[in-house]
A and B are shown apart, each in its own frame.
Chain A
Amino acid sequence: MSDALRQTPELVTLTVNGSVHQVQLDSRTTLLDALRDHLELSGTKKGCDQGACGACTVLLDGKRIVSCLVLAAQCEGREVTTVEGVTVDGRPHAVQEAFCRHDALQCGYCTPGQVMSAISLLAEGRAGSDDEIREFMSGNLCRCGAYPNIVAAIREVAGQEATSR
């Protein structure tokens, strides 16, 4: 049997949005497919499966990553945060609210990835200017072309955070 066919079922323990899940996975399963196909967390989207579009962005130990380029088995003992896990006391995250207000989305498919990337960008302190936001949001493609509104939404949240500091 060729290497391509060698599948080892593995029991993987994943901590996602604070909940611990034990799942039996084909060892080739990416974090993205584990979230979508095994944990019923379909908010994280697959846009290319090649790490090039950012639609599958999640936080791994608080840092943004593309979940299609990480195997689920590599995430044991680490904290995964998806778009389903960013609400605060049942209320939408400030970034989510700003995206709605600024119409920073159209078809909405890239939006969960944009939201996760924006949350991370703010934490990284990369929202100091519009140009900086544009540069550090450029790993998240939006084919509908909502970019100016995405920048406006992030700019607003960055401004609120600066004021409340």
Chain B
Amino acid sequence: MTALDRVDAPLKVSGSAPYPSDFTLPDQVHAVLVQSTVAAGRISAIDTTAALAAPGVLAVITHENAPPLADLPMTPLGAPPRFPFKDDRIIHCGQHVAVVVAGTHEQAASAARLVQVSYETAKPVLDLDDPRAEVVDNGWGMEVDVGDAEAALSSAEITYEETFDIAPEANNPLGLFTTLASWDSDRLTVHDCSQWPIMTRQALATAFGLPESDVRVLVPYLGGGFGAGLRAWSHTLLAALAARVVGRPVKLVLTRPQMFTSVGHRARSRQRLRLGMTGAGRLVAIDQESTAALGAEEDNFSAVVLGTPHAYDCPNVATHDRQVRLNIPNPGFMRAPGHAEGNFALESALDELSYRVGIDPVELRLRNFAEVHPQSGLPWSSNALRECLQVGAERFGWRDRSPVPRSTRDGNWLVGYGMAGVTFGWYAAPCRARLSILASGTAVLKAAATDIGTGTYTIAAQQVAELLGLRVDQVRVEIGDSDLPPAPQSGGSGLAVALTGAIQVAAANLLRALLDEVAADARSPLRGRRLDEVTASDGRLHLIDDPAVGEKYADVLARHGLDELTADGELDLAAAAADAGVAPAGAFAARFAEVRVDEDLGLLRVTRLLSVVDGGRILNEKTARSQIIGGTVMGIGMAMFEEVAFDHATGRVANATFGDYLIPVNADVPDLDVVFVGGPDAFSPTGVKGLGEVGVVGVPAAIANAVYHATGRRIRSLPITIDQLM
């Protein structure tokens, strides 16, 4: 476990890492979007005369004059969003209705205000309980039904039933989503804020009827995504369309208010959770039902209850995922979808039950620990949840607390401790990586992956360096380009596992190719050697048994007149999982929070937060810790601050600025303690487990449980606001 500095940190601290909005092309012009001010109805008229006459304006594109685009393809994460310029219908506030293209950004922005849109409005469906709303049941087909939860609930010694509400949240990466599109006859290049270049390429190729080889998506750096960059949003298509219409490169940068309505959000959800338990604190039934908002005309089924079925050992489990179609901007994916939400309900409920059965909350979770995967009955590939709980309790000083609510005071502050267990999911997608050794003896890795701040550049470079026996500075990592070998999205906590695994395969193939190269080379000390006889260090390949017998990569390549030697590696873990005989595990964690509440003023402060995480083998302690603290900060936001306020009458976002939509600032975050436990995962070829999302999960429950311990108030809706504390 090394703690190497992030390899791209020098570029980032000096402002020289190029994000999509930092690129400028010769002859480039600017596009600005006009958005609907109503939530439902149709455009009855759209007058672009004044805008077209404004200085510098080159084009105003609307549904009336837009060249038609083909429907976008399905993706492995679900259906694409609806393209808004198909017709005159309006299905949500903030829907793009026109694109104004002008010579400068200032000209485009001021002309956009001259586009006159008239609407024939309809009454929008905005409430989860609106009887007019269409309901979709089990849209992802991921509901679980094991045993007989109803029967077990009716006969359980102790039963529990409560409802939990979670406000919609906006991903709000700091980087404004940008598309810079340019056409070279029928070839399209876009710089785009995508977490998934291969998906964006496929969407653009399909929309414009091009072969995928004629579309290139570039995103060497991304100013955050948190799931916002996992779908083919219409602003990307509109920028490409505008560039085609005006015949010049077009840059389109969303405004911060547009970020709230254009790139998805965590859907509002309500969960009804029923539990059955024995007097000894063993779970006998779980029935968890969620109802979440969905866009009016789309099928992005982001589940809410994903982690529950395999969180604890319970014989009777049923989950239900319902979506309700509303006239709201398309939800999408936001960090730890299905886990952050479902965990809040389950871990809050266990806390409540711990008081009812009189068992310590940590002990209650330990009693229900799942020794094997609860549904498959297979052994876990790794599971250190027990250690997470035990190490966390010890380190936090959990046993020192007085368990009675409202029993600890510090001046005006009521002090409380709370905790939560976390079982994250496992996800894998096929990945390819291309590895080359150059004549200089250095290496290059190529894959169409992205680094969204997670540390992909760094861990990939470390992995290559380790496998090829090079220093990290001898490895160049090329990612963020759809022309490179296909890699999965940065999303779902699956990239690190897939990419490092593919690199491992590529490295083995590359060393095998090198041995093949010298198989008949009389001058090579490695002639006739097999892969299992050799290892690499200090830029040379040598015998494991006799390190003196070997030679430098550079010498082999020079003698054989090669500029480079290249091999691909491919890994499909999802396919391999089918008959692996183990249940592949994601990360596990325990979160412990200390809060202080001033009831007179309704103040809530988080003063300590400990995360103990089983993330398998940790490749880089620095970037891994950053993933956890970053997720934790987002969890603090979910618990205490974040709520997209849709106006109940109009469906407009009433707080679409950073002044009004609160995210945690520096002063809201205490020092965060992070500890890693567990060891390499037995199924992941590199022992690595994904860490990108688990950091969020469990934070809201730990904070809400600490609030209960401090005040005796049980809060089941997020965010926790002043009015709930006074």
**Which residues of B have CB within 8 Å of A100?**
5-6, 9-10, 13
Q: Does A64 contact B (CB under 8 A)?
A: no
* In the complex with contacts A28-B106, A45-B223, A150-B6 CB distance below 8 A: no
Do B664 and A105 touch across chains, with their CB atoms under 8 A apart?
A: no
In the complex, which of the residues B11, B224, B629 contacts A143, with contact meaning CB atoms closer than 8 Å? Answer: B224
* In the complex with contacts A42-B22, A134-B669, A147-B633, A142-B174 CB distance below 8 A: yes
Q: Which A residue's beta carbon lies closest to that of B11?
A: A108
Q: Which A residue's beta carbon lies closest to that of B21?
A: A46
| Interface range on chain A (Cβ under 8 Å from partner) | 35 or more
Do B174 and A47 touch across chains, with their CB atoms under 8 A apart?
A: yes
Most-contacted residue by chain B among A29, A41, A52, A145 (CB, 10 A): A145
Interface residues of B in 84-143 (CB under 8 A from A): 104-107, 110-111, 113-114
Q: Does B469 contact A (CB under 8 A)?
A: no
State A10–B281 Cα separation when bound (angstroms). 75
Do B663 and A144 touch across chains, with their CB atoms under 8 A apart?
A: no
| Interface range on chain B (Cβ under 8 Å from partner) | 35 or more
**Residues 22-52 of chain A: 1 if any B CB is under 8 Å from the residue's CB, otherwise 0?**
0000101100010011001111111111101
**Which residues of A have CB within 8 Å of B11?**
108
State A101–B256 Cα separation when bound (angstroms). 31
Q: Which B residue's beta carbon lies closest to that of A84?
A: B15
Q: Does A110 contact B (CB under 8 A)?
A: yes
Do B666 and A52 touch across chains, with their CB atoms under 8 A apart?
A: no
Q: Which A residue's beta carbon lies closest to that of B669?
A: A147
**Which residues of A have CB within 8 Å of B13?**
83, 92, 96-97, 99-100, 105, 108, 111-112, 115
Number of A-B contacts (CB under 8 A): 205
Do B15 and A29 touch across chains, with their CB atoms under 8 A apart?
A: no
Q: Which of B436-444, B543-551, B556-564, B618-626 contacts A (4 or more CB under 8 A)?
A: B618-626
Q: Does B630 contact A (CB under 8 A)?
A: yes
* In the complex with contacts A106-B626, A143-B226, A143-B663, A47-B175 CB distance below 8 A: yes
Do B19 and A45 touch across chains, with their CB atoms under 8 A apart?
A: yes
State A112–B16 Cα separation when bound (angstroms). 9
Do B666 and A151 touch across chains, with their CB atoms under 8 A apart?
A: yes
In the complex, which of the residues A50, A103, A115 contacts B6, with contact meaning CB atoms closer than 8 Å? Answer: A103
Do A108 and B17 touch across chains, with their CB atoms under 8 A apart?
A: yes
Do B110 and A5 touch across chains, with their CB atoms under 8 A apart?
A: yes
Q: Does A122 contact B (CB under 8 A)?
A: no
In the complex, which of the residues A2, A26, A111 contacts B104, with contact meaning CB atoms closer than 8 Å? Answer: A26
Do B15 and A83 touch across chains, with their CB atoms under 8 A apart?
A: yes
Interface residues of A in 119-145 (CB under 8 A from B): 130-131, 133-135, 137-145
Shortest Cβ distance from B458 into chain A, in angstroms? 10
Q: Does B377 contact A (CB under 8 A)?
A: no
Do B175 and A45 touch across chains, with their CB atoms under 8 A apart?
A: yes
Interface residues of B in 625-680 (CB under 8 A from A): 625-627, 629-634, 657-659, 663-672
Q: Does B176 contact A (CB under 8 A)?
A: yes
In the complex, which of the residues A26, A42, A145 contacts B18, with contact meaning CB atoms closer than 8 Å? Answer: A42
Most-contacted residue by chain B among A44, A83, A107, A135 (CB, 10 A): A107
Q: Does B255 contact A (CB under 8 A)?
A: yes
Q: Does A149 contact B (CB under 8 A)?
A: yes
**Which residues of B have CB within 8 Å of A47?**
174-176, 223, 256, 658
Do B15 and A103 touch across chains, with their CB atoms under 8 A apart?
A: no
**Which residues of A have CB within 8 Å of B622?**
103
- Chain A interface, >50% SS class: loop
**Which residues of B have CB within 8 Å of A103?**
5-6, 9, 622-623, 625-626
Q: Does A4 contact B (CB under 8 A)?
A: yes
In the complex, which of the residues B659, B665, B670 contacts A50, with contact meaning CB atoms closer than 8 Å? Answer: B659
In the complex, which of the residues B454, B626, B668 contacts A146, with contact meaning CB atoms closer than 8 Å? Answer: B626
Shortest Cβ distance from A51 into chain B, in angstroms? 8
Q: Which B residue's beta carbon lies closest to that of A98?
A: B13
- Chain B interface, >50% SS class: loop
Shortest Cβ distance from A47 into chain B, in angstroms? 5
Do A83 and B666 touch across chains, with their CB atoms under 8 A apart?
A: no
Interface residues of B in 164-200 (CB under 8 A from A): 172-176
Shortest Cβ distance from A90 into chain B, in angstroms? 11
Do A109 and B173 touch across chains, with their CB atoms under 8 A apart?
A: yes
Shortest Cβ distance from A111 into chain B, in angstroms? 5
**Residues 1-39 of chain B: 1 if any A CB is under 8 Å from the residue's CB, otherwise 0?**
000011011111111111101101000000000000000
State A48–B14 Cα separation when bound (angstroms). 21
Shortest Cβ distance from A95 into chain B, in angstroms? 8
**Which residues of A have CB within 8 Å of B454?**
106
**Which residues of B have CB within 8 Å of A160?**
none
Do B105 and A37 touch across chains, with their CB atoms under 8 A apart?
A: yes
Interface residues of B in 311-357 (CB under 8 A from A): none
State A2–B55 Cα separation when bound (angstroms). 12
In the complex, which of the residues A105, A139, A147, A149 contacts B12, with contact meaning CB atoms closer than 8 Å? Answer: A105
**Which residues of A have CB within 8 Å of B110?**
4-5, 7, 28
**Which residues of A have CB within 8 Å of B634?**
143, 145
Do A147 and B174 touch across chains, with their CB atoms under 8 A apart?
A: no
Do A48 and B256 touch across chains, with their CB atoms under 8 A apart?
A: yes
**Which residues of A have CB within 8 Å of B222?**
107
In the complex, which of the residues B174, B253, B666 contacts A134, with contact meaning CB atoms closer than 8 Å? Answer: B666
Q: Does B429 contact A (CB under 8 A)?
A: no
Shortest Cβ distance from A37 into chain B, in angstroms? 7
In the complex, which of the residues B9, B54, B663 contacts A105, with contact meaning CB atoms closer than 8 Å? Answer: B9
Q: Does B398 contact A (CB under 8 A)?
A: no
Q: Does A87 contact B (CB under 8 A)?
A: yes
Q: Which A residue's beta carbon lies closest to that of B7?
A: A100
Q: Does B221 contact A (CB under 8 A)?
A: yes
13 contacts between A and B (CB under 8 A): A47-B658, A52-B657, A96-B13, A108-B8, A108-B13, A112-B13, A131-B667, A141-B663, A144-B633, A145-B632, A145-B634, A147-B633, A148-B670
Residues of B within 8 A of A (CB): 5-6, 8-19, 21-22, 24, 54-55, 104-107, 110-111, 113-114, 172-176, 221-226, 253, 255-256, 452-455, 622-623, 625-627, 629-634, 657-659, 663-672
Complex A-B, nearest 5 residue pairs according to Cβ-Cβ distance, in ascending order: A43-B15, A145-B633, A107-B453, A108-B12, A109-B223
